[in-house]
Structures are given as structure tokens and as C-alpha cells.
Amino acid sequence: MKKVAILLSLVLLFAVSCAKSELESKVSNVSFTPCLQNNLRSSELSDKVDVKFNNKDVQITYRNFEVTCDFTTVNVSYTFVNGVLRITQKGSPSQADCVCHTDVSYTIEGISQNKVNVIFINGVQVYCYNEKNNTLQGTKWKLIGIVDVQSGDLTELEPKDCDECYTLTFDTDNTFSGLTTTNVIMGNYEIDYDTYTLRFINIGGTEVGEIGDGYKYAEILWKIQSFAIKNTYLHLHYSNNKNYLKYKKIGG
């Protein structure tokens, strides 16, 4: 009985210590400028976000953040699930009819760079991890499945036992080819390695009836918005980064 009691005590102590360590992540050093006077209209101003990692912290600087003229503070909150950091920042109060802009900066403690895949601020992607000096040109990939970012669940596409299905090759710096379940596909792609944006255009190919999830896969390719390269894996994000196609690299 004593051994059981001691074991339970250790388990409870471990659980409390884990919960405590999670609570150590917090927002600190929030600062902001008074309303900035700009001669440009709101629609002509461009906001800019700088993301910097320092040891185990994330430092955010958001320039030209729109608030109402009566704001006296900026409230910042966040969630961090499966490598996705979702930040909400809002000026308060927000009752005035007029708007102005402020430069906001703050630190989120306890979150290191190697844990973060994507950062959103108020629903807009501002950061996506990508290994330096990696290009897609000349690479070939095999689909593993579709990942739900929120839950982390991976769903394989049917047929699962088809080695040639769901492959993608980036032939040049703007052309690609690949296979669905029964069709050859090809076309162009537009990519920006600084903003991690990617979209497929001019998609064409053969038109044999698909099997399994072939049609679903082809439709998703039209919706791709951004990408991330992680070692030998490629993530192609869509649906406002709620899901992504996860590929494994083929060959060198």
C-alpha cells in the first residue's frame, strides 16, 4: 500500500510540475507607440511584421497595426498547438469611429524556434519554417497523406498500396509534373522563397477516370497557398493553412 501511495504521489508531482512548466510561457514586454500620424489612407499603408527568435523566446514587431483612435493599450494572447502559434492582438478600447496606426512589439516566452512551424497574427500567416538554401527545383516527392494542423492527424489517400500514385516532381524553377491515381499531371508553379508562398497554375494532363481519392488530390493542388521544407519532407499548405499535403522526398 505504501508503494502505491508513493507512486501516486510521484505521478501527481510530475503532473503538477508539467502543468507549471506550460504556464511559464507568457507574453511580456508589450510596448506600442501612440497613434502614428500618416498622410496615407489606411488602404495605402502596408503593415510589416518582424519575427525574431532569441534563445527560448519569440520576439514580434508589428508595424502600422490598425487600431481605433481611442485605444490606450494593445492586448496580446496566443495559443500554441502542434507547432502552430496563433497570436491575437487587439487595441483596447475600440469604440471610436476613427482609426490610426501603431507600432507594436512584444515577446512570447518559452517557445523556441525548433518548436514553431507556422505563426499567424489575427489569422494572417507571418512566418513559416523553411530550411535555408533549399529549393524545389529538380526534386521529386511522394505523398504520405493529408495533415490536419489543429489535431495533427494524418489521413492517407486511397489507394494506399500504389507506389506510383500521388507523386510530384518540380522539373524546373517554374514547371512541375506528377501522377494522381491514373493520370499524368503537369503545369507551372509560382514560388517565393522569402514569403514561402506557392501556387500551381496552368494544371493539365491526361483525363482517365480516377480511382480512390484521385479527384480529391487533384482539386487540392489548385488550392495550395504556401510550403515548408523540413529535412526530407515537404508540406504544401491550403485552406488558410488549416491542412497540408505531406510528402516524403524520393531519391537524393
4 pLDDT exceeds 50? no
pLDDT in tens, 199-239: 999 999 999 999 999 999 999 999 999 998 888 999 999 99
Domains of the chain, start order? 26-128 (no CATH), 139-250 (2.40.128.270)
Rounded-to-integer distance, Cα 238 and Cα 243, Å:
6
pLDDT in tens, 126-135: 887 766 557 8
Which amino acid is located at 44 in the chain? E
Reference 129, options 95, 82, 175; nearest CA is 82
Q: Residue 132's pLDDT is what?
A: 57
Q: Kindly indicate the confidence band of residue 252, based on its pLDDT and cuts at 50, 70 and 90.
A: low
Those residues whose C-beta lies under 8 Å from the C-beta of residue 215, and which sit 6 or more positions away, are none
CA angle 103, 112, 120 (to 5 degrees): 45
23 pLDDT exceeds 80? no
Reference 129, options 154, 152, 112; nearest CA is 112
Q: Residue 6's pLDDT is what?
A: 43
pLDDT in tens, 57-89: 999 999 999 999 999 999 999 999 888 899 999
Those residues whose C-beta lies under 8 Å from the C-beta of residue 101, and which sit 6 or more positions away, are 35, 36, 38, 42, 45, 64, 65, 66, 67
- Grid coordinates in use for 110? 518559452
Q: Mind spelling out the 3-state secondary structure of 211-232? A: CCCHHHHHHHHHHCCEEEEECC
Those residues whose C-beta lies under 8 Å from the C-beta of residue 107, and which sit 6 or more positions away, are 27, 28, 29, 57, 58, 59, 60
